[in-house]
Chains A and B, each alone.
Chain A
Amino acid sequence: MSQPIFGNQLSSFVKRNGSLVVLIFLFLLFSLTIANFTDSRNLTAIMFQSVVTGFLALGQFLVIVTGGIDLSQGAMVAMTSIVVSVSMMRYGAWAAIVCGLLAATLLGFCTGLLVAKTTMPPFIVTLGMMGIARGIAMMLANAKPVPITNDTFKLLGSERIGWVPVSAILLVISALIIHYILRFRRIGRYIYAVGSSESSARLSGVNVARIKLLVYMLSSFFCAIGGMIWTARLVSGSPVGGYNYETESIAAVVVGGASLSGGEGNVLGTMAGVLIFQCINSMLNLTGINPFWQGAFKGLLIIITVAISGLRGRGKLLGSRKGAKSV
């Protein structure tokens, strides 16, 4: 928003969607240099691996746009997976899906309430929620994995149309809906407004508390969807899984061009961010590089992207939230 206009539409598109450009570049590079990269099998695998992080990143993106952060995502995934697998044993697949969505959204409602109505920082609220969600998962499952026997539910993790996973189509549809809302609906513009300057938003009559409540609920809702796909792929509910998933979603959102001080970024960039990491994972797998280097690649990529966008929009990324908020 604050960038100078060079009159060239292409260059401004590139600037707004840096992560998309990086994704296309990496994709071309890998498909030219690595033999099986563009194999339909490998592309399917990349999509399968992207879906869970994709849903989490979608929720995380909404939260980060408002200037918050959600650390409870990984625990929320574990909790959903347990709620779903436990309730499925008694009530069947559809009821279980509803239970999972309700449980996560309810907890997201609590998070949102605490963030919106108190002065507690989102970092701490979601850190506490992380413990609570993890505890609920452990309690319900007695710290043991719960198997999934329902075949219809398993399809959620494995069904494909051609070589495109159904879960990936679900993700694309969700991302498009969120994109549409953020771009063209009033509530979407409000979400950006809260992130770029909370006090201005409040003074212009935006119900800031309601917006915050909404994004944390949506984040948990998407965690629930991601968690169910994750459960279906694992064929069991796991109370101890999903550790540090929030790190991955935050990384994807940041690489996708959103600023942690809020008010910036778009859905397309975030999705590109998710795919960039999965492409790198796939490259490491195919080339036989020690998989333990994965984290180093990830970290370097994060630093480089942030450095580039930081140098571009100096004033905005000063690091201190005070500077960023006083637009």
Chain B
Amino acid sequence: MKRSLPLRLSKNGPGASMMQASVILIVLIILAYILSSGVFIQPTNLLNILRQNTMLLIVVLAEFLVILTGGIDLSLGAVVAFSSVIVVLFQGYGLGLALVMALAGGLLIGLLNGMLITYLRLPAFVITLAMQQIVYSVAKVMTNGAKIEHSLNGAMLNMRLTQLYKQDLFGVSVPIWFCVGMVLLVSVYMHTKYGYYIYAIGGNDKAARMSGLPVKTVRIMAYVLSGLFSALAGFLFVSRVGTGDPDTGTLLSMDAIAACTIGGTSLAGGKGNVSGTVIGLLVLCVLNNVMSLVHVSPNIQPLVKGLVILIAVYMNNMKSKGDN
């Protein structure tokens, strides 16, 4: 099993689509360099791009794992909002507890998603859409619809939490460590047995089941990881913004799906890789960054973003059409 799968990966994995995304990224970077007259390429700006998009990166990796199984997770943004509320509510009792509670919440939601999708065989799109509604609703009930800054025991926001995002560790800012750590974690996961199984399931569910792979476990794991990652993103959200916001992240899943698709991950599952996905994310991030650097009116920004998504995915699909 393990022998044959990497062969398949080398054909579908780091192949065509990633090239397309890289080309777009390079073109964008060159454009950014020219338009911003060099400001873009300065290390502070580059690090800023990463720092500002740590949350998005984590969420994109979560979405990547789910999409690779042939599913989709629309509840990511809701989990981020929910866990941001949980973190603020519990940080008065200690940061560790707050993080654990948030992760437990994310795990539970992911587990529910996964169980409903695998055991009842319900469509992922519908279940995670419903879960999104439920989770947002619960988060809003908990805070009565408002943003919150106080813990359950009335304590103000823990300084250590808000400092976390600004701190440096070994000369590199903490959120960047998170970025690197998560990318490494997912890359390693993709090279374990379970990672290979994800490709097998996404590529052909029936064949994977027939060959005796633990299809259900692997699929549930993807949703659980997605919930956990989103919960972590919620924790970082509080650290960065300083509030628990039950309304945040409504378009986060959409951005995440867009990044995955730009990076060559197929929505049908079984096709894509971590580096491509990261490049897809960078396309969106660089685009946002350069638009604000050269003061593109925020009114035009959604239009430009929409066009870039369409062009990028169009290029991906042109290539894969030629392949087949």
Contacts and interface: CB of A to CB of B under 8 A. Distances in A.
A296 B134 contact: yes
Nearest to A321: B268
A259 to B, nearest CB: 8
A120 interface: yes
Nearest to B118: A319
A288 interface: no
Given A296-B133, A296-B137, A298-B130, A319 B306 contact: no
Given A119-B317, A138-B300, A292 B144 contact: yes
A327 B27 CA distance: 44
Contacts of A139: 297, 299-300, 303
16 contacts: A114-B314, A127-B258, A131-B302, A132-B302, A132-B307, A135-B302, A138-B300, A250-B129, A251-B130, A260-B123, A295-B133, A303-B131, A306-B122, A310-B123, A311-B120, A323-B206
Interface string A94-118: 0000000000000000000010001
Interface string B130-154: 1111101110110011000000000
Contacts of B302: 131-132, 134-135, 138
Q: How large is the interface on A (under 10, 10 to 19, 20 to 34, 35 or more residues)?
A: 35 or more
Nearest to A294: B137
B276 interface: no
Contacts of A234: none
Contact of A260 (B126, B297, B298): B126
A77 B283 CA distance: 28
A244 B268 CA distance: 24
A254 B125 CA distance: 11
A303 B127 contact: yes
A322 B124 CA distance: 14
Nearest to B205: A320
A66 B304 CA distance: 29
Interface in A65-106: 69, 71
Contact of B140 (A114, A142, A295): A295
Interface in B261-301: 261, 267-268, 297-301
A261 B122 CA distance: 12
A123 B320 CA distance: 18
A325 B74 CA distance: 23
B257 interface: yes
Contacts of B300: 135, 138-139
A3 to B, nearest CB: 17
Contacts of B257: 123-124, 127
A317 interface: yes
A317 B117 CA distance: 11
Contacts of B320: 119
A299 interface: yes
Contact of B124 (A121, A243, A314, A319): A319
B137 A319 contact: no
A300 interface: yes
Contact of B313 (A128, A244, A260, A306): A128
A136 interface: yes
Q: How large is the interface on B (under 10, 10 to 19, 20 to 34, 35 or more residues)?
A: 35 or more
Contacts of B145: 292
A311 B254 CA distance: 29
A136 B314 CA distance: 21
Contacts of A299: 130-134, 137
Interface in B241-272: 250, 254, 257-258, 261, 267-268
A131 B120 contact: no
A284 B17 CA distance: 48
Contacts of B318: 118
B240 interface: no
Contacts of B126: 254, 260, 302-303, 306
Interface of B: 70-71, 116-117, 120-127, 129-134, 136-138, 140-141, 144-145, 204-206, 250, 254, 257-258, 261, 267-268, 297-307, 309-310, 313-314, 317-318, 320-321
Contacts of B297: 139
Given A303-B127, A306-B123, A319-B124, A131 B116 contact: no
Contacts of B254: 71, 127, 130
Interface string A213-253: 00000000000000000000000000000011001001100
A119 B129 contact: no
Given A299-B130, A302-B133, A317 B122 contact: yes
Closest 5 CB pairs of A and B: A135-B303, A131-B306, A295-B137, A299-B134, A299-B133
Contacts of A136: 303
Contact of A118 (B129, B134, B314): B314
A318 interface: yes
A9 interface: no
A135 B317 contact: no
A119 B305 contact: no
A295 B137 CA distance: 5
A120 B121 contact: no
A243 B136 CA distance: 15
Nearest to A301: B130
Contacts of B267: 121, 123-124
B310 A125 contact: yes
Contacts of A244: 250
Contact of A317 (B71, B123, B137, B250): B123
A290 interface: yes
Q: Which of A120, A129, A247, A307 has the most CB of B within 10 A?
A: A120
A136 B132 CA distance: 28
Contacts of A321: 268
Nearest to B143: A292
Nearest to A244: B250
Nearest to B321: A119
Contacts of B121: 310, 314, 317-319
